[in-house]
Structures are given as structure tokens and as C-alpha cells.
Structure 1
Amino acid sequence: MSDIAGIGFGRIAAMLPVKDIHKAHDFYAEIFGFRKVFENGNPVGFMILKRDRAELHLTLQPTHRNPSFNVAHLMVDDVDALFALCRRHEVRIIKKLQDKDYGLRAFVFADPDGNRIDVGQPIPVARG
């Protein structure tokens, strides 16, 4: 551990493989309010989206097959409101909203490419 004691770690962002990068952009921008801050390639093969402290990196992978596991975990301030937003936009829900025994209220949705995003919010601890 002493070998890394002086090394500070910065941000780390989820890399999401997508078949259609513009469709993925529209999904995250229109429903969740992400904005594009960078793109690269002609045609575009890589894009960075940001919202508040969250960052997603989209990579064009035309042969992408959706995974059967969560590829990212997103912490939010109001998980109930985000779940309701997903329902209004008919986003595919993989796991319904529920309180978890590990202290989060959470649900899992899938984007148009089948990338599963686990969304959570800490459950307030009751003071007695």
C-alpha cells in the first residue's frame, strides 16, 4: 500500500458500448438531462456526456451485445423521482425500486443498447 500512498486518484467514468452513438446521446440527453461535452471521430466514435458530477463515456461498438449484469452505478439525490421519470418515458426497468438491506433505495434500468444502470440513494438512518 505504501507504493501508492502519494498518488491521488481523480474521476473514473463508465464506458458504455453503444450500437448507435447518436441514439444513445439522445436517450441520455432527453430523458436524464446529460449534455455532450466532447466527441471524437468522423463519423463520431466516442462521446462524453455530463450531468452534475456524473459522467458517461459512449463508445461506438456496432456489434455490441447487451450484458446481463450492471455496467454502472449512479447515485442520485432523489431515486423515487428518477424512477418515476423512467416510468413516464417507458425506460425498460430491470429491477423495480425497492429498499435494499445494504442501505440503499435502488432500481436498475436498461438503456436502448441494453446497458444496465443501477441507480441508488442512501436510505436515511432513523435517529432514536
Structure 2
Amino acid sequence: MNVIADHGVRFGRIAAMLPVKDMAKAHDFYTRVFGFSKVFENGNPVGFMILKRDEGELHLTLQPAHEAANFNVAHLMVDDANGLYTTCQRYGVRIIKRLQDKDYGLRAFVFEDPDGNRIDVGQRI
């Protein structure tokens, strides 16, 4: 296996880019259900938006012809998976995989946003 040296490069944050068909609907979902706040938007109509909550950041990109993948597109670490799972249930969010403890040390579940983007949620056990 070849190993590429890092040349002293330090990585900063990396954020998930989620394609959405309707920016207003996606904004409403992530702010209303999960408490994200919009910190940036670009375009008229808005074609790109950044949402932030605590250390979590989502980038939304308008893709009217988006077809959802059948796999997880982002992983979200939280400090209370039970609480977030309850919130998802309360708002009628589609749960793809129910809340359960995994053998790799996470309490986890997967939900789907209105555009079909699957988000894997985990909490260290």
C-alpha cells in the first residue's frame, strides 16, 4: 500500500452537502425539526444555503432533478440519540433504521429528510 505524506497539511471542518429539490421546504425542515439556523445563503432564487447548529453544519444545494440515493449520505454525531430519535418521531420524520445499540460502540438510527437524503445519527455508548 502506498502512503501519501500529509506534508504538514491540517484539515479543518468538512460539511455534508445535501441536494434538495425545494430550498424553502428543506430550510423549514432542518430549522423547525432540528433547530438549525441559517448562517448563509446565495442566489436569487436561493441555490445554496448553510445551516448550523452547535458544531454541526449542513450545506444545502438546490438540485430540482435530485433523486435520492438508497444509502446514507451524512453521519451526525450527537450527545443524545434517544432525544433526537424522539424528536424525529414527534415530527413524523421517516425512520429508515430504528434506534439501536451497535456492536461498534454507537447508539444509532437513520432518518430520511423530505428529499430522501438519509442521515445516520450516532452517539457514543
TM range (shorter): over 0.9
Q: CA deviation at 1:3?
A: 3.6
Normalising to structure 2: TM-score of the pair? 0.96
Task: Give the Cα–Cα distance (whole angstroms) in 1 for the partners of residues 111 and 4 of structure 2.
Answer: 39
Provide the rounded CA distance (Å) in 1 between the counterparts of 2:24 and 2:52.
15
The alignment partner of 2:39 has SS state of: strand
Number of residue pairs the alignment of both structures matches: 123
SS at match of 1:56: strand
In angstroms, what is the RMSD of aligned CA positions? 0.9
CA distance in 1, matches of 2:9, 2:53: 27
Residue 91 of structure 2 is matched in structure 1 by 89
In 2, the alpha carbon distance for the partners of 1:70 and 1:98 equals 16
Per the alignment, in what secondary structure is the counterpart of residue 6 of structure 1?
Answer: coil
Identity %: 74
Aligned mate of 1:101, from 100, 103, 106? 103
For residues 99 and 3 of structure 1, the distance between their equivalents in structure 2, rounded to whole angstroms, comes to 36
Match of 2:57 in 1: 55
Task: Report what 2:23 is aligned to.
Answer: 21
Aligned-residue offset at 1:89: 0.4
Equivalent in the alignment of 2:12? 10
Aligned to 1:126: none
Q: For residues 42 and 79 of structure 1, what CA distance do their matches in structure 2 show?
A: 36
- Please state how far the C-alpha of 1:69 moved relative to its aligned partner: 0.2
| Unpaired segments ≥5 residues, structure 2 | none
TM-score, normalised via structure 1 length: 0.94
SS in 2 for 1:28: helix
**What is residue 116 of structure 2 aligned with on the other side?**
114
Q: Aligned partners of 1:61 and 1:46: how far apart in 2?
A: 10
Kindly state the Cα deviation for residue 2 of structure 1 after the two structures are TM-superposed.
6.5
Q: 1:44 to 1:6 in 2, by over 3 A?
A: same
| Structure 1 letter corresponding to 2:30 | Y
